[in-house]
Amino acid sequence: MSIPSFPLPNGFGWQYHFILWIQSFHTPLLDKLATWLSWLGTESAYLIVLPILFLAVNRTLGMRLAYVFVTSMFVNAWLKDALQIARPIGVPGIRSGYISSATGLSMPSGHAQGTMTFFAGISKWTKRRFVMWLGIVLVAGIGLSRIYLGLHWPLDVLVGWGVGLVIGVAGWQIGRWWSYRQVPFAYAVAFAVLFPGLLLTVDHQGAAGQYALFLLVMGLGSVFERRYLNTRIDGVFWKRICVAVIALGGIVAIQLGLKVKLEDVPWLWIRDGLIALWATFGAPWVFLKLDLYRREETEPFGS
């Protein structure tokens, strides 16, 4: 094994050589596959899947998974800021691609952590073997794609997998008893405010602050939707399809209407808050007016 002719931090030698080894299998087809897999781990992909789960599949599943996933992403942003590990981008000999998906610091990999968190929750919910194997393939593929593309060190991915698994399993278990549709209104409001408030006291800067704000608006939107709209998903299949399409259309409209750069922090907060409010309150109101939703037969919060 050749020794690099430039300095590397202690413990990074094996990681450097692992990246060179995995990139030695480079082909145009693998480049496209890695880029596609990497996109599956982006925020854009989860902004498609999570609203569909919440609005068109199952409210309890969608809300619990959203809470666990966004909390995991908060922890990821906080850890990156605390550890201050630079990405391998620009290191001699390492070929880095799909740079648009690589911003900020490196450890742990948000793609690896987010995917592991998501599929840990989904697997706990469904307990179906094919979902478990699909999760294993995608978690492994997305994590390895980040190394292959030269955007993360191998240890970034390993730590991301570990943190994502712990938060995914523990968060899902803790959330088993929780649903805004099962607790008194005052308790629901308190949790919706106090939990993200606690996170903001830990870290309110950058991406961590964005995730905490998203949780705040998402939680309050869900509580007030239950209080004032009290809707339920209609079981008719074509209505669920319409719900999914309209919900995603609203998210795209908000993103296009607020085209902001990563450094435009106030506008990023406004955009994320509007997306959370749309998904939890605005969209259900629209669906109720369009007769795509029904009102719950039971009174909200047992009132």
**Same structural domain for residues 40 and 171?**
yes
Residue 157: inside a domain, yes or no?
Answer: yes
Report pLDDT for 168. Answer: 92
Same domain, 294 and 251: yes
Taking phi first (over 0 means left), then psi (-120 to 50 degrees means alpha), and beta for anything else, what does residue 134 get?
alpha
In a domain, 1, yes or no: no
Burial label, 40 (beta-carbon count in 10 A; 0-12, 13-18, 19+): middle
* 51 and 170 co-located in one domain: yes
The answer as to whether 290 is a domain residue is yes
What are 229's two structure tokens? 């709209």
So what's the pLDDT on residue 126?
Answer: 82
In a domain, residue 278? The reply is: yes
Tell me the two tokens of residue 226: 């239950």
Q: Say if 109 falls within a structural domain.
A: yes
Same structural domain, 172 and 288: no
Question: pLDDT at position 103, please?
Answer: 63
Reported as a single tens digit per residue, the pLDDT across 11-66 is 778 888 899 999 999 899 999 999 999 998 888 888 889 999 999 999 888 999 99
SS3 231: strand
Residue 192 domain-assigned? no
The residues near 100 (Cβ < 8 Å, ≥ 6 apart) are none
Distance of CA 115 to the CA centre of its chain: 8
pLDDT at 245: 95
Quote the pLDDT of residue 91: 83
**What are phi and psi for residue 46, nearest 5 degrees?**
-75, -25
Q: How many C-beta atoms surround the C-beta of residue 272 within 10 A? A: 22
- Angle of helix 265-277 versus helix 206-228 axis, rounded to 10: 30
- Tell me: do 74 and 119 sit in the same domain: yes
Residues 217 and 169 in one domain: no
Same domain, 164 and 222: no
Contacts of residue 261, Cβ cutoff 8 Å, sequence gap at least 6: none
Does residue 38 lie in a domain region? yes
Phi, psi of 189 (to 5 degrees): -65, -45
Q: How many domains does the chain have?
A: 2
Structural domain harbouring 243: 204-303
For the chain, list residues with pLDDT below 70. Answer: 1-9, 98-103, 176-182, 260-265, 299, 301-303
Residues 158 and 215 in one domain: no
Amino acid at 168: G
pLDDT of residue 263: 64
231-262: pLDDT as tens digits: 999 889 999 999 999 999 999 999 888 786 66
Residues 175 and 63 reside in one and the same domain: yes
Other beta carbons less than 10 A from residue 18's beta carbon: 14
Pair (161, 261) in one structural domain: no
Sign of CA dihedral 243, 245, 251, 257: negative
174 shares its domain with 226: no
Q: Distance between CA 206 and CA 82 in Å, rounded?
A: 13
Q: What is the pLDDT of residue 89?
A: 85
Same domain, 173 and 279: no
Q: Give the tokens for residue 4.
A: 């690099």
Residue 195 lies in a domain: no
